[in-house]
Structure formats: C-alpha cells, structure tokens
Amino acid sequence: MGWLKRFMGFEAPKPAAGSPVKGNLPFGLGSGRMLKLDPSLKLLLDGHSELEVPGQEVVWAVGEVDLGQSVRLARFYMEDEDYWLQVVMNGASADDVRDIILFGYYSVVPVSSDAELKRLVGPESNIGLPYYEHEGYEFVRQWGSEEGQTELTPISEWVTSPETSYRIQHLSMLYARETGLTDRREFLLLSVEEDEDGNVSLTTSVGVTLQSTDFNVI
C-alpha cells in the first residue's frame, strides 16, 4: 500500500505477490456462473432490510481473503457491479461454509488526499465507533472491543476475473443490526480500498444474511 498505509500508521497484511488464496469455492460459484435468488426473498425482506434483492446476477470476478486460522472469505462480484456475495469459510473445502451475506453497493467515494481520508475515516469521523447510524437505523460494531473508536481492520484480497488478476488492500469496519426476522441480520460494511495503481476510495455496502436455500447456482 502507499499513502493509505502511511496515513493509518500500520502495514496491512500482504501475501506474496502473485499468490492467491488456496481453497475450493462454495456452491459451484465462479466467473460466468449465474446466481438465481428465490423470488420470495424479496417479499420476505421488504420492510425489514434496506437491501433490494435482485432476481438473478452473473458472477464476473472472484475475490479470496485469508483471515488466518483456516478462516477465509470467498467474494463473488457480479457483472453489473451493483452486488457481491460474501461466503465465510472455515476451511479449504467447498463445504466449509459458515456464513453467507449478499451485499449491495450503497456508495463509492473516491479519495484524493490525506485530508479527505482523515475527514472520512479519521478520529473525528463516526466510522469505528461502537454504534453507527445509517438511513435511520442504528448498527452495532462487530469488530473491536474498545469503548470508543477502534482502528479499521486491514484485509488483503486477491481478485481474479476472466481478464486479469490483481490485489486490493482494504481497511474495513463491519456493523450489523437485527432485522426482526429469524436468522436474518442486516450488515453495513465500510471499507477504504486501495488498488495496485494507488487509487483509493471509501465504499459503503449494505448486506443481509442468506441461507443456502435462498438461491440456486446455474
């Protein structure tokens, strides 16, 4: 990382260049596969989650993150660039699925200077505090145990698409809230991202818990 690393004051983990995370992908997902969501899911979540559930999406790129201790993230970015699916895995097998979350991008804000980054995610911002308000809902911080603001979590992601492969460095904070539905939580992921060209942005994604019965892969 470049000036993002220097600004935050620590080095994000960075596996060897050109070395993607090793592990089988779940549900037969991969570039070119279609994720078809159950139409009843949209009706179920109406009034309980801000996320607008699509009917079907085609996977374009696959991101892989090694969190250590055999835990990894498999991320599937959709062709229309509006949605992405995250699967938390407990091992290298495709069956080692722990959690499934469908995310939709809420906003992407380019960051062009230290001052702008400090304003967005620095000590005077609300990101990293125990509670975060978004669209009238209060979300609870999922990472960090500090009473006050906590540092963003560094994540190194290897992304592969049909055209290229590249690494993205993230500094992220995850929030969640109960929706009132059984086994359905809504998530808010705020992430400062820097690509290999040094372009930095702050992305906000809203997600909701999925069950494996909520979708088919074609």
Mean pLDDT, residues 140-144: 96
Residues 6+ apart with CB under 8 A from 179: 45, 48, 49, 185, 186, 208
DSSP string of 170-200?
EEEEEEEEEEEETTEEEEEEEEEEE-TT--E
Token pair listed for 88: 């938390």
Alpha-carbon distance of 140 to 137, in angstroms, equals 10
> Which amino acid is residue 48, in one-letter code?
H
Q: Let me know: does 158 contact 59? Beta carbons within 8 Å.
A: no
Q: Let me know: does 157 contact 171? Beta carbons within 8 Å.
A: no
Dihedral sign from CA coordinates of 192, 88, 106, 30: positive
Place of tokens 């930095």: 200
Say which residue, 176 or 195, is predicted with more confidence.
176
Alpha-carbon distance of 200 to 2, in angstroms, equals 10
pLDDT over threshold 50, residue 4 = no
Helical spans, DSSP H, in 47-167: 114-121
Helical spans, DSSP H, in the chain: 3-8, 39-45, 114-121
pLDDT over threshold 50, residue 8 = no
Alpha-carbon distance of 38 to 214, in angstroms, equals 5
Mean of all residue pLDDT scores within the chain: 90
- The predicted structure's pLDDT at residue 23: 76
pLDDT over threshold 60, residue 14 = no
Helical spans, DSSP H, in 15-172: 39-45, 114-121
pLDDT over threshold 60, residue 16 = no
Q: How do the domains of the chain map onto residue ranges?
A: 3-217
Question: 159-180: per-residue pLDDT in tens?
Answer: 999 999 999 999 999 999 999 9
pLDDT over threshold 60, residue 19 = no
Say which residue, 20 or 5, is predicted with more confidence.
20
Residues 6+ apart with CB under 8 A from 47: none
Alpha-carbon distance of 153 to 162, in angstroms, equals 29
- The predicted structure's pLDDT at residue 131: 98
> pLDDT > 70: what percent of the chain?
90
Total-model pTM: 0.90
pLDDT over threshold 70, residue 142 = yes
Q: Let me know: does 26 contact 89? Beta carbons within 8 Å.
A: yes
